[in-house]
Amino acid sequence: MYKVLIKRSNLEKALIRKNYTRKVLADKMGISKNYLSSIFTGKREPSAVLRQSLMELLQGYTFDDLFVITEDHDDSMHN
What 3-state class would DSSP assign to 18?
A: helix
**Domains of the chain and CATH, by start:** 2-71 (1.10.260.40)
pTM: 0.82
Residue 79 has pLDDT above 90, yes or no: no
Q: pLDDT per residue over 2-51, tens digit each?
A: 999 999 999 999 999 999 999 999 999 999 999 999 999 989 999 999 99
- Listed residue (75, 71, 72, 54) closest to 63, CA to CA: 54
Distance from C-alpha of 49 to C-alpha of 67, rounded to nearest angstrom: 13
Residue 75 has pLDDT above 80, yes or no: no
C-beta separation of 75 from 35 below 8 A: no
| 79 CB-side CA count, 13 A | 3
